[in-house]
Amino acid sequence: MYGRLPAIVLASGVALFGAALSGCGPSRAEIKERHDQADYHYQLAFGYLFDPNTAVRDVEMALQESLKAIETDPDHPEAHFLYALILMGRERYLEAVEHYQRAITLKPDYYFAHANLAATYLAMERWDDAIKVLEPLVANAHFTTPGNGYNNLGWAWYQKGDRPQARKNYVRAIQLAPKLCPAYNNYALLLIDEDNLEKAKENLEEAIRRCPGYAEPHFHLGRIQMRDSQAPLAVRSFRKCLDLSGDTPLADRCKRQLALLPAEEAP
Protein backbone atom coordinates (compact mmCIF):
# COMPACT_ATOMS: atom_id res chain seq x y z
CA MET A 1 0.00 0.00 0.00
CA TYR A 2 2.59 2.58 1.07
CA GLY A 3 4.86 2.81 -1.94
CA ARG A 4 5.80 -0.84 -1.69
CA LEU A 5 5.06 -1.79 -5.30
CA PRO A 6 8.43 -0.63 -6.71
CA ALA A 7 10.22 -2.62 -4.00
CA ILE A 8 8.13 -5.67 -4.87
CA VAL A 9 9.09 -5.48 -8.53
CA LEU A 10 12.75 -5.11 -7.62
CA ALA A 11 12.71 -8.09 -5.26
CA SER A 12 10.98 -10.27 -7.85
CA GLY A 13 13.42 -9.23 -10.56
CA VAL A 14 16.43 -10.07 -8.42
CA ALA A 15 15.04 -13.48 -7.53
CA LEU A 16 14.25 -14.39 -11.14
CA PHE A 17 17.62 -13.18 -12.37
CA GLY A 18 19.44 -15.28 -9.78
CA ALA A 19 17.47 -18.36 -10.77
CA ALA A 20 18.31 -17.88 -14.44
CA LEU A 21 22.02 -17.67 -13.68
CA SER A 22 22.14 -20.67 -11.38
CA GLY A 23 19.84 -22.89 -13.41
CA CYS A 24 18.51 -24.46 -10.21
CA GLY A 25 15.18 -22.68 -9.86
CA PRO A 26 11.95 -24.68 -9.59
CA SER A 27 10.27 -25.71 -12.81
CA ARG A 28 6.75 -24.60 -13.70
CA ALA A 29 5.51 -28.06 -12.84
CA GLU A 30 7.15 -27.89 -9.42
CA ILE A 31 5.71 -24.44 -8.78
CA LYS A 32 2.23 -25.65 -9.74
CA GLU A 33 2.54 -28.73 -7.54
CA ARG A 34 3.63 -26.59 -4.60
CA HIS A 35 0.76 -24.18 -5.18
CA ASP A 36 -1.76 -27.05 -5.45
CA GLN A 37 -0.52 -28.55 -2.19
CA ALA A 38 -0.76 -25.17 -0.48
CA ASP A 39 -4.23 -24.66 -1.89
CA TYR A 40 -5.29 -28.02 -0.48
CA HIS A 41 -4.27 -26.90 3.02
CA TYR A 42 -5.90 -23.52 2.47
CA GLN A 43 -9.20 -25.11 1.48
CA LEU A 44 -9.09 -27.27 4.60
CA ALA A 45 -8.46 -24.19 6.75
CA PHE A 46 -11.28 -22.32 5.05
CA GLY A 47 -13.63 -25.23 5.67
CA TYR A 48 -12.74 -25.39 9.36
CA LEU A 49 -13.74 -21.73 9.69
CA PHE A 50 -16.60 -21.26 7.24
CA ASP A 51 -18.15 -24.60 6.29
CA PRO A 52 -21.92 -24.02 6.65
CA ASN A 53 -22.41 -27.72 7.38
CA THR A 54 -20.17 -27.55 10.46
CA ALA A 55 -21.90 -26.49 13.66
CA VAL A 56 -18.71 -25.49 15.50
CA ARG A 57 -15.73 -23.76 13.96
CA ASP A 58 -12.37 -25.40 14.62
CA VAL A 59 -10.14 -22.36 14.79
CA GLU A 60 -7.08 -24.31 15.93
CA MET A 61 -7.22 -26.66 12.95
CA ALA A 62 -7.82 -23.69 10.65
CA LEU A 63 -4.72 -22.04 12.11
CA GLN A 64 -2.61 -25.14 11.57
CA GLU A 65 -3.79 -25.72 8.02
CA SER A 66 -3.38 -22.10 6.94
CA LEU A 67 0.15 -22.14 8.35
CA LYS A 68 0.89 -25.34 6.44
CA ALA A 69 -0.34 -23.63 3.29
CA ILE A 70 2.03 -20.72 3.86
CA GLU A 71 4.94 -23.03 4.62
CA THR A 72 4.24 -25.00 1.46
CA ASP A 73 3.85 -21.92 -0.73
CA PRO A 74 4.88 -18.60 0.85
CA ASP A 75 3.38 -16.85 -2.19
CA HIS A 76 -0.21 -17.93 -1.55
CA PRO A 77 -2.04 -14.63 -0.81
CA GLU A 78 -5.31 -16.20 0.36
CA ALA A 79 -3.46 -18.34 2.90
CA HIS A 80 -1.75 -15.25 4.32
CA PHE A 81 -5.15 -13.52 4.48
CA LEU A 82 -6.83 -16.39 6.31
CA TYR A 83 -3.93 -16.81 8.71
CA ALA A 84 -4.04 -13.07 9.47
CA LEU A 85 -7.79 -13.25 10.07
CA ILE A 86 -7.24 -15.93 12.72
CA LEU A 87 -4.40 -13.94 14.28
CA MET A 88 -6.71 -10.92 14.50
CA GLY A 89 -9.22 -12.98 16.44
CA ARG A 90 -6.47 -13.90 18.89
CA GLU A 91 -5.38 -10.26 19.20
CA ARG A 92 -1.96 -11.03 17.71
CA TYR A 93 -2.18 -7.81 15.77
CA LEU A 94 1.44 -7.25 14.78
CA GLU A 95 1.62 -10.69 13.18
CA ALA A 96 -1.74 -10.12 11.49
CA VAL A 97 -0.44 -6.87 9.98
CA GLU A 98 2.60 -8.70 8.61
CA HIS A 99 0.48 -11.32 6.86
CA TYR A 100 -2.11 -8.87 5.51
CA GLN A 101 0.74 -6.82 4.08
CA ARG A 102 2.22 -9.95 2.53
CA ALA A 103 -1.13 -10.84 0.96
CA ILE A 104 -1.35 -7.32 -0.49
CA THR A 105 2.21 -7.51 -1.79
CA LEU A 106 1.38 -10.73 -3.60
CA LYS A 107 -2.03 -9.54 -4.79
CA PRO A 108 -2.31 -5.72 -4.83
CA ASP A 109 -6.01 -5.79 -5.78
CA TYR A 110 -6.87 -7.99 -2.79
CA TYR A 111 -9.28 -5.40 -1.39
CA PHE A 112 -10.49 -7.48 1.53
CA ALA A 113 -6.88 -7.69 2.71
CA HIS A 114 -6.61 -3.90 2.52
CA ALA A 115 -9.85 -3.55 4.51
CA ASN A 116 -8.78 -6.02 7.18
CA LEU A 117 -5.34 -4.45 7.45
CA ALA A 118 -7.09 -1.16 8.22
CA ALA A 119 -9.35 -2.90 10.74
CA THR A 120 -6.27 -4.32 12.46
CA TYR A 121 -4.76 -0.84 12.66
CA LEU A 122 -8.02 0.35 14.24
CA ALA A 123 -7.80 -2.41 16.84
CA MET A 124 -4.23 -1.25 17.56
CA GLU A 125 -5.41 2.38 17.77
CA ARG A 126 -3.08 3.29 14.92
CA TRP A 127 -5.56 5.79 13.52
CA ASP A 128 -3.29 7.46 10.97
CA ASP A 129 -2.18 4.12 9.51
CA ALA A 130 -5.82 3.05 9.19
CA ILE A 131 -6.71 6.29 7.40
CA LYS A 132 -3.80 5.85 4.96
CA VAL A 133 -5.18 2.43 3.98
CA LEU A 134 -8.87 3.35 3.94
CA GLU A 135 -8.92 6.61 2.02
CA PRO A 136 -7.61 5.17 -1.26
CA LEU A 137 -9.61 2.00 -0.66
CA VAL A 138 -13.03 3.71 -0.45
CA ALA A 139 -12.13 5.77 -3.52
CA ASN A 140 -11.50 2.61 -5.54
CA ALA A 141 -14.51 1.70 -7.68
CA HIS A 142 -13.56 -1.99 -7.53
CA PHE A 143 -13.94 -2.15 -3.73
CA THR A 144 -17.32 -3.83 -3.26
CA THR A 145 -18.07 -2.89 0.37
CA PRO A 146 -17.35 0.84 0.58
CA GLY A 147 -19.93 1.31 3.32
CA ASN A 148 -17.78 -0.70 5.71
CA GLY A 149 -14.76 1.30 4.65
CA TYR A 150 -16.44 4.66 5.24
CA ASN A 151 -17.70 3.51 8.64
CA ASN A 152 -14.20 2.47 9.70
CA LEU A 153 -12.77 5.67 8.28
CA GLY A 154 -15.30 7.63 10.31
CA TRP A 155 -14.24 5.75 13.44
CA ALA A 156 -10.57 6.58 12.85
CA TRP A 157 -11.33 10.28 12.40
CA TYR A 158 -13.64 10.24 15.43
CA GLN A 159 -10.86 8.79 17.58
CA LYS A 160 -8.54 11.52 16.32
CA GLY A 161 -11.08 14.12 17.45
CA ASP A 162 -11.99 15.34 13.97
CA ARG A 163 -15.78 15.41 14.16
CA PRO A 164 -16.43 16.96 10.73
CA GLN A 165 -14.43 14.23 8.99
CA ALA A 166 -16.04 11.56 11.15
CA ARG A 167 -19.54 12.88 10.39
CA LYS A 168 -18.88 13.03 6.66
CA ASN A 169 -17.73 9.42 6.58
CA TYR A 170 -20.51 8.07 8.80
CA VAL A 171 -23.16 9.76 6.67
CA ARG A 172 -21.54 8.38 3.53
CA ALA A 173 -21.45 4.89 5.06
CA ILE A 174 -25.18 5.05 5.82
CA GLN A 175 -25.98 6.34 2.35
CA LEU A 176 -24.06 3.53 0.66
CA ALA A 177 -24.99 0.75 3.09
CA PRO A 178 -28.27 1.55 4.86
CA LYS A 179 -28.30 -1.91 6.44
CA LEU A 180 -24.92 -1.35 8.12
CA CYS A 181 -26.01 -1.02 11.73
CA PRO A 182 -22.61 -0.11 13.27
CA ALA A 183 -22.59 3.06 11.17
CA TYR A 184 -25.81 4.26 12.87
CA ASN A 185 -24.40 3.32 16.27
CA ASN A 186 -21.09 5.07 15.70
CA TYR A 187 -22.70 8.17 14.27
CA ALA A 188 -24.89 8.30 17.38
CA LEU A 189 -21.78 8.43 19.58
CA LEU A 190 -20.64 11.56 17.78
CA LEU A 191 -24.12 13.08 18.15
CA ILE A 192 -24.13 12.28 21.87
CA ASP A 193 -20.82 14.11 22.23
CA GLU A 194 -22.48 17.12 20.60
CA ASP A 195 -25.54 16.85 22.91
CA ASN A 196 -27.75 16.23 19.88
CA LEU A 197 -29.58 13.56 21.82
CA GLU A 198 -32.74 13.40 19.75
CA LYS A 199 -30.86 12.70 16.55
CA ALA A 200 -28.62 10.26 18.41
CA LYS A 201 -31.71 8.39 19.61
CA GLU A 202 -33.05 8.25 16.06
CA ASN A 203 -29.85 6.62 14.85
CA LEU A 204 -29.69 4.16 17.74
CA GLU A 205 -33.33 3.19 17.28
CA GLU A 206 -32.69 2.68 13.57
CA ALA A 207 -29.75 0.40 14.37
CA ILE A 208 -31.95 -1.60 16.75
CA ARG A 209 -34.78 -1.79 14.23
CA ARG A 210 -32.51 -3.06 11.50
CA CYS A 211 -30.40 -5.37 13.71
CA PRO A 212 -32.48 -6.62 16.68
CA GLY A 213 -29.59 -8.77 17.94
CA TYR A 214 -27.10 -5.90 18.07
CA ALA A 215 -26.37 -5.12 21.72
CA GLU A 216 -24.37 -1.89 21.72
CA PRO A 217 -27.12 0.53 20.57
CA HIS A 218 -29.21 -0.55 23.55
CA PHE A 219 -26.36 0.48 25.85
CA HIS A 220 -26.04 3.96 24.36
CA LEU A 221 -29.80 4.40 24.22
CA GLY A 222 -29.89 3.59 27.94
CA ARG A 223 -27.26 6.27 28.57
CA ILE A 224 -29.44 8.86 26.86
CA GLN A 225 -32.52 7.70 28.76
CA MET A 226 -30.62 8.07 32.04
CA ARG A 227 -29.66 11.63 31.09
CA ASP A 228 -33.32 12.32 30.28
CA SER A 229 -34.40 10.95 33.71
CA GLN A 230 -36.25 8.08 32.03
CA ALA A 231 -35.12 5.45 34.50
CA PRO A 232 -37.65 2.72 33.60
CA LEU A 233 -36.72 2.95 29.91
CA ALA A 234 -33.02 2.98 30.78
CA VAL A 235 -33.40 -0.19 32.86
CA ARG A 236 -35.12 -1.89 29.95
CA SER A 237 -32.38 -0.82 27.53
CA PHE A 238 -29.53 -1.94 29.79
CA ARG A 239 -31.23 -5.28 30.46
CA LYS A 240 -31.68 -5.83 26.74
CA CYS A 241 -28.03 -4.95 26.22
CA LEU A 242 -27.08 -7.46 28.90
CA ASP A 243 -29.23 -10.19 27.35
CA LEU A 244 -27.67 -9.68 23.92
CA SER A 245 -24.03 -9.08 24.81
CA GLY A 246 -23.21 -12.50 26.29
CA ASP A 247 -19.80 -12.93 27.92
CA THR A 248 -18.22 -9.72 26.66
CA PRO A 249 -16.86 -6.50 28.19
CA LEU A 250 -20.03 -4.77 27.01
CA ALA A 251 -22.05 -7.01 29.34
CA ASP A 252 -19.99 -5.73 32.27
CA ARG A 253 -20.68 -2.14 31.24
CA CYS A 254 -24.41 -2.89 31.08
CA LYS A 255 -24.30 -4.41 34.57
CA ARG A 256 -22.53 -1.37 35.98
CA GLN A 257 -25.16 0.95 34.53
CA LEU A 258 -27.98 -1.19 35.88
CA ALA A 259 -26.40 -1.03 39.32
CA LEU A 260 -26.80 2.74 39.25
CA LEU A 261 -30.56 2.47 38.77
CA PRO A 262 -33.15 1.49 41.38
CA ALA A 263 -34.27 -2.12 40.92
CA GLU A 264 -37.90 -1.12 41.32
CA GLU A 265 -37.64 1.01 38.21
CA ALA A 266 -37.74 -2.08 36.05
CA PRO A 267 -40.89 -2.14 33.89
pLDDT computed for residue 2 by the predictor: 30
d(CA 94, CA 189): 28
SS3 146: helix
Domain extent listing, the chain? 182-267
Q: What is the pTM of this model?
A: 0.84
d(CA 257, CA 61): 39
Distance of CA 110 to the CA centre of its chain: 15
* Tens-level pLDDT at each residue, the chain (267 residues): 333 322 212 112 222 223 333 445 678 888 888 888 999 999 999 999 888 887 678 999 999 999 999 999 999 999 999 999 999 999 999 999 999 999 999 999 999 999 999 999 999 999 999 999 999 999 999 999 999 999 999 999 999 999 999 999 999 999 999 999 999 999 999 999 999 999 999 999 999 999 999 999 999 999 999 999 999 999 999 999 999 999 999 999 999 999 998 865 544
pLDDT computed for residue 264 by the predictor: 53
d(CA 217, CA 171): 17
Burial of residue 176 (CB within 10 Å: 0-12, 13-18, 19+) is: middle
pLDDT computed for residue 54 by the predictor: 74
Cβ-contact 213, 243 below 8 angstroms: no
Q: Does the 182-267 domain belong in CATH 1.10.8.60?
A: no
